[in-house]
Amino acid sequence: MPSRNDTTPSTDSSDESDVLETLVAALRDDRNDPQRRALQRALGLPDTAPAGETADTSGTAPGVADSADSAVGATDETGADAASTDTSLEDVQNELEATTTEIEQLRADIADLNAADNVIRRRLEGALQPQLDSVTDRLEALDSQLEHHRSETTSSLADFEATCTALEDAVAELEADVDTYGDRLTELETRIDTVERTLESRTDELATQTDEAEVRLKRELLLVRSAFSGEIERVDDTIDALEATVETDHDALSDFDTTLSELETRLAALEAETDAASDWRRSLRDAIQSSSDSVASDEQ
């Protein structure tokens, strides 16, 4: 960039006015914000740019416009008195050169920063991008696994709910069966109590009948024995009498045979009655045993 020091003090006022107008235009241009600030500092004007303002801010701040108007007024005054402004213009040019140098340095710094940024970006893309891709793949795989587990969990939950429902139904059926069995058990207990009472009654009745039968049997046996004993004694007496008379009266032998036959017939009748009594006793015992078996089957 050509140095501003080549300008001589003999430059006419029109050139100075053109330079100042250029400076004013630069002050009005938002794209030359660093240069505008350098000019404001060179002219001794206050910096009106707000803190943190960047080069992309649109519009011109009111302080800059006022500074430009002040610069125009200063230009008019400079045109009226060129000799008094030569020194100020040289100072401005020196400031502009310093500002230009600073801007070039800033541009060089920006270029260096951009280069460093590109280097860092390439390093990031070369070193971190594979890792990021690996992490992304792992995240996708984990998401697939989670989706699979989620679907399995949903299916298992549905099966669990179905199983719970089936178990609840089974429990309800079991409770109903328990109630039914409880009612039946109560009914069976009632029937068992009734059968027990009936069995006790019939047992007592059979015991009474058995006692009466034993007493009757004993009485009949005594009667049979007494009758049998009397008949035997009578037969013996008859035999003795017949033996005594048989020697004297041969005709009595036939009578003896007849009497003996009658005795045998009566003895057979007694034996038959004895057998009938024994049969009656056995039938009574069988009846008692049959009643006991019937009561036992009713209990079952």
The 10s digit of each residue's pLDDT in 245-275 is: 655 555 555 655 666 677 777 777 777 777 7
Which of the two residues, 171 and 279, has the higher pLDDT score?
Answer: 171
- CA angle, residues 15, 19, 27, in degrees to nearest 5: 160
CA distances (Å), origin 12, targets 28, 78, 79: 25, 11, 9
Residues 6+ apart with CB under 8 A from 98: 38
Closest CA to 86 of 5, 152, 16, 29: 16
115 or 268, greater pLDDT? 115
* pLDDT score at 268: 76
Task: Look at residue 7 in the predicted model and tell me its pLDDT.
Answer: 43
| pLDDT of 213 strictly over 50 | yes
Q: Which uninterrupted H or E stretch holds 99? A: helix 82-123
pLDDT tier at 3 (50, 70, 90 boundaries)?
very low
CB contact at 8 A, 70 and 27:
no
More confident position, 134 or 236:
134
Residue 40 reports pLDDT greater than 70? no
Whether residue 297 has pLDDT greater than 70:
no
CA distances from 72 to 4, 65, 66 (A): 21, 11, 10
> In this predicted model, which residue has the larger pLDDT, 15 or 56?
15
Q: How many whole angstroms separate alpha carbon 180 and alpha carbon 199?
A: 28
Identify the band that residue 60 occupies on the pLDDT scale cut at 50, 70 and 90: very low
Question: Band of the pLDDT at 27, cuts 50, 70, 90?
Answer: low
Contact 45, 99 (CB under 8 A): no
Query: For residue 170, what are the CA distances in angstroms to 164, 167, 175?
Result: 10, 5, 9
Is 10 buried (19+), middle (13-18) or exposed (0-12) by CB count in 10 A? exposed
Confidence (pTM):
0.27
Of 43-52, 53-62, 208-217, which one has max mean pLDDT? 208-217
28 Cβ contact partners less than 8 Å away, ≥ 6 residues apart = 60, 64, 65, 68
Residue 83 has pLDDT above 60, yes or no: no
CA distance 180 to 273: 59
Enumerate residues 6+ apart whose C-beta is below 8 A from 13. 78, 79, 82
Q: What is the pLDDT of residue 265?
A: 78
**Residue 158 clears pLDDT 80, i.e. is over it:** yes
Percent of the chain with pLDDT over 90: 0
Burial class (CB in 10 A: 0-12, 13-18, 19+), 59: exposed
Would you state the pLDDT for residue 296? 58
Q: Which of 255, 259, 233 is nearest to 246 (CA)?
A: 255
pLDDT score for 63: 47
125 Rama class: left (phi>0) / alpha (psi -120 to 50) / beta: alpha
Poorest-confidence range of 76-80, 95-99, 125-129, 227-231? 76-80
The structure tokens 């402004």 sit at: 85
Most confident by average pLDDT, 53-62, 125-134, 165-174, 208-217: 165-174
84 has a pLDDT exceeding 60:
no
Q: What percent of the chain has pLDDT over 70?
A: 56
pLDDT at residue number 254: 60
